[in-house]
């Protein structure tokens, strides 16, 4: 049995271990794989693990020995599931491994925006505090989270974890969810999308990307928000119209945007959000705490072992 890992580097930069996986088969580990190298590297392998390397119909048709694809992420759009199913290839994903880490990043962005921590730290390295006439200086408005309204779009694992943390800060939590209001935990109020965007001080995006949610945050919706409002996106880049968001920030339509995702990644140099006012971007790292990445490897190993035992788990096709 041979296992090939096509793009291990984002999961493990050398500080984690694939030892448990290597106990069950020979494992070839590649940091990155270009499209033209996918077939040659996967030839002869029964098991292929991929994070972002695409396994489309053309590739799958050239890998007759392939029996199992393990996606090293929750989303599995990199695999052509229809072709995989026709060829009796089992495809699995890694669900819920980064829930707490992603919810944590929501508040990393939010606290940076409301407390301007990064701004003041950078200014003080330039000597601004040392030159102050007073024991402190205040050149940005700060505000408390307690008592503000937070709208959560999508109440799955990360949305629920975000709501739990929000309560700790004293935020009033509203959610756009398909769940019945009676089934929601205490302190979460169900609301429609227009109410959330027009009334909430903070909106955090946690819904899946579908045809209905693409550009959920667009120019028209941004125009309904408070000028002091903040949007946080740790979900998917295409939930937000990048150009519309940049225009809203530059024109003061809303106060700030904190995002860990963009429409295209890595970020093109001409993406308008890179230079927009009060826009704070992190490079798709919310999922990438050491704990979450080790959890991903552990679940990946469990998935492979379950497949080899003839009882696949976390199968998506």
Task: Say whether pLDDT at 187 is over 90.
Answer: yes
Among candidate residues 41, 167, 284, 302, the one labeled active-site is: 284
Among candidate residues 109, 206, 221, 236, the one labeled active-site is: 236
CATH code of the domain in which 59 resides: 3.40.50.720
Among candidate residues 144, 265, 290, 291, the one labeled active-site is: 265
Q: Say if 111 falls within a structural domain.
A: yes
pLDDT at 28: 97
Assess whether 226 and 271 both reside in one domain: yes
pLDDT digits (tens, 9 = 90+) for 195-214: 999 999 999 999 999 999 99
Share of the chain above pLDDT 70, in %: 100
Task: Say whether pLDDT at 141 is over 90.
Answer: no
Assess whether 185 and 234 both reside in one domain: yes
- Report, as an integer, the average pLDDT of 162-181: 97
Q: Say if 316 falls within a structural domain.
A: no
Q: Do residues 47 and 67 touch, judged by C-beta distance below 8 A?
A: yes
Q: Do residues 94 and 74 touch, judged by C-beta distance below 8 A?
A: yes
Report how many domains make up the chain. 2
Q: Say if 59 falls within a structural domain.
A: yes
Task: Say whether pLDDT at 158 is over 90.
Answer: yes
Reported pTM: 0.92
- Report, as an integer, the average pLDDT of 265-291: 97
Report the alpha-carbon distance of residue 69 to residue 40 in Å, rounded: 16
284 flagged as catalytic: yes
Confidence band, pLDDT 50/70/90 cuts, at residue 19: very high
Q: Say if 229 falls within a structural domain.
A: yes
Q: Say if 114 falls within a structural domain.
A: yes
Assess whether 17 and 165 both reside in one domain: no
Assess whether 300 and 221 both reside in one domain: no
Q: Which SS3 state, helix, strand or coil, does residue 302 take?
A: helix
Assess whether 133 and 248 both reside in one domain: yes
Nearest to 198 by CA among 170, 240, 227: 227
Please, where are the H alpha helices in the chain? 19-22, 38-42, 57-61, 81-86, 99-115, 117-125, 157-168, 193-199, 219-223, 242-250, 290-308
pLDDT at 227: 98
pLDDT digits (tens, 9 = 90+) for 61-76: 999 999 999 999 998 9
Assess whether 19 and 50 both reside in one domain: yes
141: phi then psi, degrees, rounded to nearest 5:
-70, 135
Assess whether 197 and 241 both reside in one domain: yes
Assess whether 130 and 275 both reside in one domain: yes
Assess whether 116 and 177 both reside in one domain: yes
Q: Do residues 215 and 238 touch, judged by C-beta distance below 8 A?
A: yes
Confidence band, pLDDT 50/70/90 cuts, at residue 25: very high
Q: Say if 252 falls within a structural domain.
A: yes
Report the alpha-carbon distance of residue 224 to residue 196 in Å, rounded: 10
Count Cβ atoms below 10 Å from residue 121 Cβ, excluding itself: 9
Assess whether 6 and 109 both reside in one domain: no
Assess whether 80 and 209 both reside in one domain: no
Q: Give the range of the structural domain holding residue 10, as residue numbers without chain letter.
A: 2-96+290-308
Q: Say if 51 falls within a structural domain.
A: yes
Q: Which SS3 state, helix, strand or coil, does residue 317 take?
A: coil
Q: Say if 317 falls within a structural domain.
A: no
pLDDT at 315: 98
Report the alpha-carbon distance of residue 148 to residue 252 in Å, rounded: 20
Task: Say whether pLDDT at 192 is over 90.
Answer: yes
Assess whether 136 and 24 both reside in one domain: no
């Amino acid at each position: 049995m041979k296992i090939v890992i096509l793009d291990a580097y984002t999961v493990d930069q050398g500080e984690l271990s694939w030892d448990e996986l290597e106990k069950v088969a020979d494992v070839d580990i590649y940091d990155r794989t270009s499209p033209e190298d996918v077939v040659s590297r996967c030839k002869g392998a029964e098991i292929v693990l991929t994070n972002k390397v695409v396994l489309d119909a053309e590739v799958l048709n050239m890998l007759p020995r392939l029996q199992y694809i393990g996606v090293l992420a929750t989303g599995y759009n990199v695999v052509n599931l229809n072709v995989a199913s026709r060829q009796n290839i089992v495809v699995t994903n890694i669900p819920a491994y980064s829930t707490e880490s992603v919810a944590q990043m929501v508040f990393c962005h939010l606290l940076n925006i409301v407390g301007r921590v990064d701004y003041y730290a950078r200014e003080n390295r330039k000597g601004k505090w040392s030159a102050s006439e007073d024991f402190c200086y205040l050149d940005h408005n700060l505000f408390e989270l307690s008592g503000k309204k937070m709208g959560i779009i999508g109440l799955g694992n990360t949305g629920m974890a975000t709501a739990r943390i929000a309560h700790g800060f004293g935020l009033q939590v509203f959610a756009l969810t398909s769940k019945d209001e009676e089934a929601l935990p205490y302190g979460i109020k169900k609301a429609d999308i227009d109410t959330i965007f027009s009334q909430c001080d903070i909106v955090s995006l946690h819904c899946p990307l579908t045809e209905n949610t693409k550009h959920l945050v667009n120019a028209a919706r941004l125009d309904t928000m408070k000028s002091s409002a903040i949007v946080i996106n740790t979900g998917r880049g295409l939930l937000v119209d990048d150009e519309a968001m940049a225009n809203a920030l530059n024109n003061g339509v809303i106060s700030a945007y904190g995002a860990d995702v963009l429409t295209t990644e890595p970020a093109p140099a001409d993406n308008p959000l890179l230079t927009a006012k009060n826009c704070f971007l992190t490079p798709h790292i919310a999922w990438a705490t050491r704990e979450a990445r080790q959890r991903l490897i552990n679940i990946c190993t469990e998935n492979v072992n379950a497949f080899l035992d003839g009882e696949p788990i976390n199968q998506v096709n």
